[in-house]
Structure 1
């Protein structure tokens, strides 16, 4: 005898309902923010591609960090802007899983690329004589491929696991979908739904530990040499600031999802939810663009380029 239950195909994003009074204002601000994100990230990407002086490991990793910023925010802003103009803030089950996959895999790729950048700075400062033999062009592209493929595969596995579970609710108290909240709506939790997310969190926590270890080693090495101190301030400090921005933003949202107070105003909850979709995609390219001389000079050359006189 079959169980009587209705198959849930649509979810309600109730977080958007808290923006009813200020939807037009929020729409304009969100659209402006999205345009700024595209402008500054595309500027870094195009500058890195065009300027052959920037075809070096550190700038290639930075270019991929900017590409990932566009990838992650594209999974949120178009849907959010559409919801602000609509009175039915719903998303299909497959659309919810897709959005969760994009946002989660983008966060994972952020950590992977930041770990690569930390390794690059470690080799450049602590093993300068071996740098060009270690960070060859072929190896750099292999690293980049791994940095993208690993989070995509890990999150694809997590998303497939979520898609196979039967859900017993349709209410998501956020303005976007994440796999964690979809899993909370499952009628019963499978072992895979517990083990896979736990492995993913542990895996990327190890990335953070690796970056912290590498920078502790870098700082200890740089203290002994004035030249290395200059390298650290010029190339490592922006990376360290980016790491702090990404980790703090994601940790803020993760802790809120698990332990957030239900008494907080919806507007505060929404800001906490989208902080990592606003701050890192804007600050990361700005930090590098303002701090790294070659990037800054490349942007100026790109903007001020003139046709050669005939």
Structure 2
């Protein structure tokens, strides 16, 4: 592996993913929770998609958006976990430069798509609770489809510059990536050229996409909570809150893990390197695993249909 420490080429044909630096001897043990998270993510999100597809009563905007979220989570986890597990299990650390750029694009693109889907789901819950009589006329199937397409195009287009910004950098000092997956900020830090454009673009995406998305959801849930507290009885308030609690918990899981991972990367100099990478890797995989769990536990319709399908199969 020392042969890859330095390289005379500006754009090396391959990169080396170290996994969890400093914990190489424990990679097999570390792989156990990561593999478990991946299995839960795959099974949970496929079950959600299957249940919604098979049950006509769930063919509503809320569950259409939930299926979009499940597909996004599947792509996000699959773009990172298989390679991570191959590093942990088989010490397969080498990754082609183009494959690294592809992985980077999928990570950032589908992260932005997921944020957009959460915004769409927040709007759905806002209309359902604050203006229920117009919900079916506002959120038609056509609007849901157009919204989903818009979120995909937004995420895909905004993530497109990331691989090009990485590709234009010169890597003649090292091609070793000190983590188990390719990420924009980590790769540009390896470059030997000016990375200000990459940094500015990263900030541009944060302040034009992530911050407005978070503000929109905060405003939506402020209005939703106000409507809930205006309900005449305690039972009505609990029932109304139950219709949006799953979405609220998923938003918190998504943004809190993303924020924590960002803070660890940028301000965690006092934290050991292996702890930084391990925490950031867990945070990246936590939300896709938690979303189907949250909706399975908190949504009675999903619980009922799942139990109904299981009982039907047994009979």
Output the TM-score relative to the length of structure 1: 0.90
Shifted more, 17-26 versus 234-243: the winner is: 17-26
Contact in 2 for aligned 1:242/1:287 (Cα 8 Å): yes
State whether structure 2 residue 175 is matched by structure 1 residue 170. Answer: yes
Shift of residue 265, structure 1, vs aligned partner: 5.5
Contact in 1 for aligned 2:20/2:278 (Cα 8 Å): no
State whether structure 2 residue 195 is matched by structure 1 residue 187. Answer: no
Q: Match for residue 114 of structure 1? A: 118
Count how many residue pairs are aligned between Structure 1 and Structure 2: 304
Q: Match for residue 52 of structure 1? A: 56
Q: Match for residue 76 of structure 1? A: 80
Shift of residue 305, structure 1, vs aligned partner: 1.9
Once the two structures are superposed, the pairs formed by residues 79-98 of structure 1 within 5 Å of their partners are: 79-87=83-91, 89-98=93-102
1:248-267 C-alpha deviation (Å, 9 max, x unpaired) = 1111111111122255151x
Which of residues 224, 229, 251 in structure 2 aligns to 1:243? 251
Query: Compared with structure 1, are the counterparts of its residues 6 and 48 closer, same or farther at alpha carbon in structure 2 (3 Å cutoff)?
Result: same
Q: Match for residue 210 of structure 2? A: 204
Calculate the aligned-residue CA RMSD, in Å: 2.2
Q: Match for residue 283 of structure 1? A: 290
- Can you give the 5+ residue segments of structure 2 that lack an aligned partner in the other structure? 1-6
Query: Compared with structure 1, are the counterparts of its residues 150 and 231 closer, same or farther at alpha carbon in structure 2 (3 Å cutoff)?
Result: farther
Q: Match for residue 269 of structure 1? A: 276
Contact in 2 for aligned 1:183/1:189 (Cα 8 Å): no
- Can you give the 5+ residue segments of structure 1 that lack an aligned partner in the other structure? none
Shift of residue 26, structure 1, vs aligned partner: 2.4
Which of residues 161, 165, 171 in structure 2 aligns to 1:161? 165
Shift of residue 158, structure 1, vs aligned partner: 2.2
Contact in 2 for aligned 1:65/1:110 (Cα 8 Å): yes
Q: Match for residue 9 of structure 2? A: 6
What is the rounded CA distance, in whole Å, between the counterparts of 1:144 and 1:238 in structure 2? 20
3-state DSSP of counterpart to 2:95: strand
Shift of residue 40, structure 1, vs aligned partner: 1.1
1:138-170 C-alpha deviation (Å, 9 max, x unpaired) = 001111111222111110122223223323432
Contact in 2 for aligned 1:16/1:89 (Cα 8 Å): no
Shift of residue 38, structure 1, vs aligned partner: 0.8
3-state DSSP of counterpart to 1:174: coil
State whether structure 2 residue 30 is matched by structure 1 residue 26. Answer: yes
Shift of residue 103, structure 1, vs aligned partner: 1.4
Q: Match for residue 130 of structure 2? A: 126
Contact in 2 for aligned 1:162/1:182 (Cα 8 Å): yes
3-state DSSP of counterpart to 2:181: coil
Contact in 2 for aligned 1:170/1:185 (Cα 8 Å): yes
Which of residues 197, 214, 217 in structure 1 aligns to 2:220? 214
1:57-84 C-alpha deviation (Å, 9 max, x unpaired) = 0011111111111100001111011111
3-state DSSP of counterpart to 1:305: helix
What is the rounded CA distance, in whole Å, between the counterparts of 2:178 and 2:89 in structure 1? 19
Shift of residue 29, structure 1, vs aligned partner: 3.2
